[in-house]
Amino acid sequence: MSNIPLNQLEAWRAAQLLARREILAVDLARACLDRVSERDGELHAFVHIEPDTVLAQARALDAGPVRGPLHGLPLGVKDLFDTVDLPTAYGSPIYAVNRPAADAASVALCREAGALVLGKTVTTEFAYFHPGPTRNPHDLRHTPGGSSSGSAAAVADHMLPLALGTQTAGSIVRPAAYCGVVGYKPSAGLVPRAGVKSLSEALDTVGSFGRSVRDAALLGAVLTGDARLGALAALAAPRIGLCRTPDWSQADADTQQAFERASTVLAPLAAILQDAAWPIDLPDLVVLQKAVMSYEMSRALSHERVRHRELLSQPMRAMMDEGRAISGQVHASNLAITAAAQLSADAMFAQFDVLIAPSSTGEAPLGIAATGDPLFCRGWTLLGLPCVHLPFATGRHGLPVGLQLVGRRGDDYRLLAVAQWVHERLLG
Amino acid sequence: MSNIPLNQLEAWRAAQLLARREILAVDLARACLDRVSERDGELHAFVHIEPDTVLAQARALDAGPVRGPLHGLPLGVKDLFDTVDLPTAYGSPIYAVNRPAADAASVALCREAGALVLGKTVTTEFAYFHPGPTRNPHDLRHTPGGSSSGSAAAVADHMLPLALGTQTAGSIVRPAAYCGVVGYKPSAGLVPRAGVKSLSEALDTVGSFGRSVRDAALLGAVLTGDARLGALAALAAPRIGLCRTPDWSQADADTQQAFERASTVLAPLAAILQDAAWPIDLPDLVVLQKAVMSYEMSRALSHERVRHRELLSQPMRAMMDEGRAISGQVHASNLAITAAAQLSADAMFAQFDVLIAPSSTGEAPLGIAATGDPLFCRGWTLLGLPCVHLPFATGRHGLPVGLQLVGRRGDDYRLLAVAQWVHERLLG
């Protein structure tokens, strides 16, 4: 066994050692909890954590049979997911004392597979823009991104190897990019959202954070029910499309350099690497995503909007007012336009296994009063396509920079296998 | 004002009188509560009702401004929907003492529009097959259908004018058919499901019950956010396709006669009325719907499956075991096949405004140990198409019989307007 501290082990490696009882879940949990004690006073990744309960659950895992592929692995759970044994506030004072009656389905699936819930991680208010207190572990003056702020920061800071997040606009890929970890947003429809606070049914997606593609995919296997994700095979050279998107001018020099570097490194190795043409019949996906999101959030959060308006942030109220100005008739039309756009976008994958695209406009912005811009994620989320953020570079302020790979809907296995192949070469 | 008892008023008519303060919400509520007192001892449509709270809320509505299109209308809420002020058990002993932290989004939207929640209506266990105690108001020896058993029975029995239901296989259209009321299942994606116990995200749909198309559409307008549904215009003669479906041989003589009668009555009145060809490239939708449902339910209810298996009914456990035998890879493929089938089915609406199809195999079966077969609903639910059940005939045992109209996805307004046109002619 290696000499690397337990809390720094990758999840897949820890899982092997745990399954062979070469390390104990309680020791791994203690190493993670020690890291939290040491660091979370300034990082603020966690909103709730009960160390004694965690250690007791870890001992129970050590004493029992190996439950599944996540046996004994500490897991961070974004506080947008219901947990039966921990308070769940959804980032809102409205739910300050909320105790759910059940685990979210995805949390229950992870626990069934042996995961050890270490604590609840900070989310922005109902996973929208009003930030929590979390800071970027690479530079505390910067935002970790949002809305899955605590999950991304905790994984990046070696507080735990795996965490759950959700993406409605860019809430997995953006914080993964800002914190320099791998974030995986599965294809729409694969992971149950039961027990996750619902914002937009057309958009909300449950996904995973890890420090490697293999780790994010290990958790993804349990979430999607596709066991192949837990054992990504070596691949023949993939066909890669370079997709700068219509918003390329918003990508700063760091992001553009990362893109060019990936292109240069991968060109001689890929089976195909060429520019992917943006389908000319696609509508403005960013505008459309905003309309779908504001309409659906203003309705999904009707209870809060009607009964607790004074406890909603100003940006949330403003967004809901925008949504309320859209009629159901227009929304039905927006959903139909979205369905047609999904068909158009699918055509890009006749030529390519994956697309490479920007994850964010650049490094994590300075300050924690805002969580950055999900511009480069909105369209892919609307299209329901699986995305993986790969960190591999550093920007002008020394903060992480990377890119996302986008796959064909439903073909998450291929996306992740290619992502592993690409990541190895970009890091190599 | 008419002499018809208040509890027998159609919702649209009561809404007019309430808005003009010609009747009081408290009097309407009292008339409904009296009917419940008189009848629910044998009908068992309600699982929870708090008359004093209802009357206090009614008085508050009478004392305040007219809130919206449902102002003062008593509403039954299937006990699958969270309610902040009433217990919510989802038809399962696991949640015998559950008190949700918020109203379901659809309930909040109805309350915002002025609806008065009269009580929680019986659902089968997690809206699957294990029945509640509800009986058919037309003959207490027969099932009211499921899973929205209490909502359909209460509306049919004049306990209230409107009720909420959900459909995952056939849980709106089937009980509407058995109880002889109008049931409206909107297009997939239009009504938020937040706060409704999630079973299958590909299938679960929130909808409405009323005693007329106009009533079901009045509630539907609030649910879908499409105000046009609250004022269905008179139509030119519609184009109608007769769709017997591949399961026609399972329709008994009562259903087949209703179908022939509708064809005979409408043929001289419709712009087009002819057989609709079943798209030859459609897969077996019933088999596919069952696979999607069992896979997704076994995962959405993971908390209950893992922690409370002994409190689940045997049919629920068996269905979950079937779902667990399906891999995530196969499920992703099933979702892709479903998406292709939705495109194929859409082609039928180039020729027709609506399809007429069977709602059920026949009258409500004898006994309350089972809730009947959703065979004729599974496919339409999988396709995400809007459906309206129209009661207009009587079967050999004197129980209600009718048919459903199926519309183009997203074009719920046209479906309901045609449904009103068709219903008037079938009843006339």
Asked, for residue B363, whether it belongs to a domain, the answer is no
Q: In the structure, what pLDDT confidence band is assigned to residue B81 with cuts at 50, 70 and 90?
A: very high
Write down the pLDDT at residue A118. 98
The maximal CA–CA distance of chain B, rounded, in angstroms, is 61
Asked, for residue A420, whether it belongs to a domain, the answer is no
Positive or negative: CA dihedral A355, A361, A363, A365: negative
Asked, for residue B285, whether it belongs to a domain, the answer is no
Q: How far apart, in whole angstroms, are the C-alpha atoms of residue A428 and residue A418?
A: 15
Which tokens in the block code for residue B250? Answer: 């399972």
Q: How far apart, in whole angstroms, are the C-alpha atoms of residue B298 and residue B305?
A: 7
H or E element: which one contains B394?
A: strand B387-394
CATH of the domain at B37: 3.90.1300.10
Answer yes or no: are the C-beta atoms of A105 and B303 closer than 8 Å.
Answer: yes
Answer yes or no: are the C-beta atoms of A131 and A369 closer than 8 Å.
Answer: yes
For B404, residues 6+ apart whose C-beta sits below 8 A from its C-beta are B173, B177, B356, B357, B358, B359, B376, B377, B380, B387, B388, B389, B390
Give the A window 33-72 contacts with B, CB below 8 Å. Answer: none
Q: In the structure, what pLDDT confidence band is assigned to residue B428 with cuts at 50, 70 and 90?
A: confident
Mean pLDDT of B226-246: 96
Q: How far apart, in whole angstroms, are the C-alpha atoms of residue B330 and residue B336?
A: 10
Picking from A85, A166, A302, A306 by the largest number of B CB atoms within 10 A of its own CB, the best residue to mutate is A302
Mean pLDDT of B351-378: 97
Q: How far apart, in whole angstroms, are the C-alpha atoms of residue A55 and residue A30?
A: 7
Within an 8 Å CB–CB cutoff, is residue B228 touching chain A?
A: yes
Distance from CA of B238 to the nearest CA of A (A): 21
The DSSP call for residue B72 is: T
Q: How far apart, in whole angstroms, are the C-alpha atoms of residue B199 and residue A82?
A: 16
Which tokens in the block code for residue B148? Answer: 């929205």
pLDDT per position in chain A (428 positions), as tens? 558 999 999 999 999 999 999 999 999 999 999 999 999 999 999 999 999 999 999 999 999 999 999 999 999 999 999 999 999 999 999 999 999 999 999 999 999 999 999 999 999 999 999 999 999 999 999 999 999 999 999 999 999 999 999 999 999 999 999 999 999 999 999 999 999 999 999 999 999 999 999 999 999 999 999 999 999 998 899 999 999 999 999 999 999 999 999 999 999 999 999 999 999 999 999 999 999 999 999 999 999 999 999 999 999 999 999 999 999 999 999 999 999 999 999 999 999 999 999 999 999 999 999 999 999 999 999 999 999 999 999 999 999 999 999 999 999 999 999 999 999 999 98
The maximal CA–CA distance of chain A, rounded, in angstroms, is 61
Q: Which of B292, B373, B387 is nearest to B345 (CA)?
A: B387
Mean pLDDT of B164-170: 98
Which tokens in the block code for residue A277? Answer: 């043409």
% chain B with pLDDT above 90: 99
Q: Which of A129, A170, A54 is nearest to A369 (CA)?
A: A129
For A324, residues 6+ apart whose C-beta sits below 8 A from its C-beta are A298
Residue for token pair 């709106």: B172
B10-57 pLDDT per residue, tens? 999 999 999 999 999 999 999 999 999 999 999 999 999 999 999 999
Q: How far apart, in whole angstroms, are the C-alpha atoms of residue A203 and residue A193?
A: 11
Q: In the structure, what pLDDT confidence band is assigned to residue B404 with cuts at 50, 70 and 90?
A: very high
B352-363 pLDDT per residue, tens? 999 999 999 999
Q: Which of A192, A409, A202, A195 is nearest to B200 (CA)?
A: A192
**Catalytic site includes residue B200:** no
Contact A226 B201 (CB under 8 A): no
Number of H helices, E strands in chain B: 14, 11
Q: Is the peptide bond before A147 cis (omega within 30 degrees of 0)?
A: yes
Q: How many CB atoms lie within 10 A of CB A41?
A: 8
H or E element: which one contains A346?
A: helix A328-346
The boundaries of the domain holding residue A209 are 6-230
**How many domains does the structure of chain A reveal?**
1
CA angle A285, A288, A291 (to 5 degrees): 150
User: What would the 3-class secondary structure string for A245-302 be?
Assistant: CCCHHHCCHHHHHHHHHHHHHHCCCCCEEEECCCCCCCCCHHHHHHHHHHHHHHHHCH
**Catalytic site includes residue A290:** no
Write down the pLDDT at residue B262. 98
Asked, for residue B52, whether it belongs to a domain, the answer is yes
Q: How far apart, in whole angstroms, are the C-alpha atoms of residue A330 and residue B227?
A: 11
Write down the pLDDT at residue A384. 98
Facing residue for A105 by CB, picked from B84, B95, B302:
B302
Helix ranges restricted to H, B161-252: 173-179, 213-224
Write down the pLDDT at residue B2. 58
Which residue in chain A has the smallest CA separation from B336? A410
Within an 8 Å CB–CB cutoff, is residue A410 touching chain B?
A: yes
Q: How far is CA B244 from the centre of its chain?
A: 21
Asked, for residue B281, whether it belongs to a domain, the answer is no
B33-37: long-range contacts (C-beta < 8 A, 24 or more apart)? B33/B118, B34/B7, B35/B7, B35/B157, B35/B158, B35/B159, B36/B118, B36/B119, B36/B154, B36/B159
Q: How far apart, in whole angstroms, are the C-alpha atoms of residue A363 and residue A361?
A: 7
Contact A190 B412 (CB under 8 A): no
Q: Which of B294, B273, B293 is nearest to B421 (CA)?
A: B273
Q: Letter for the amino acid at B17?
A: L
Contact B302 A226 (CB under 8 A): no
Within an 8 Å CB–CB cutoff, is residue A345 touching chain B?
A: no
Mean pLDDT of B282-296: 98
Asked, for residue B304, whether it belongs to a domain, the answer is no
Within an 8 Å CB–CB cutoff, is residue A18 touching chain B?
A: no
Q: In the structure, what pLDDT confidence band is assigned to residue B235 with cuts at 50, 70 and 90?
A: confident
User: Concatenated DSSP letters for B22-41?
Assistant: SS-HHHHHHHHHHHHHHHHH
Q: How many CB atoms lie within 10 A of CB A65?
A: 8
- How many A/B residue pairs have CB atoms within 8 Å? 144
ipTM associated with this complex: 0.97
Q: How far is CA B330 from the centre of its chain?
A: 30
Q: How far apart, in whole angstroms, are the C-alpha atoms of residue A153 and residue B410?
A: 41
Collect all residues of chain A within an 8 Å Cβ-Cβ radius of residue B109: 299, 302
Q: List the catalytic residue out of A78, A120, A185, A197.
A: A78
Give strand pairing partners of A46. A121
Supply the Cα-derived Rg of chain A in whole angstroms.
20
Within an 8 Å CB–CB cutoff, is residue B378 touching chain A?
A: no
β strands within A133-290, DSSP E: 162-167, 182-185, 205-210, 239-242, 272-275
Which tokens in the block code for residue B117? Answer: 């929640």
Distance from CA of B394 to the nearest CA of A (A): 36
Question: Whats the size of chain B, residue-wise?
Answer: 428
**Catalytic site includes residue A171:** yes
Q: List the catalytic residue out of B148, B149, B151, B171.
A: B171
Answer yes or no: are the C-beta atoms of A171 and A150 closer than 8 Å.
Answer: no
Q: How far apart, in whole angstroms, are the C-alpha atoms of residue A14 and residue B122?
A: 48
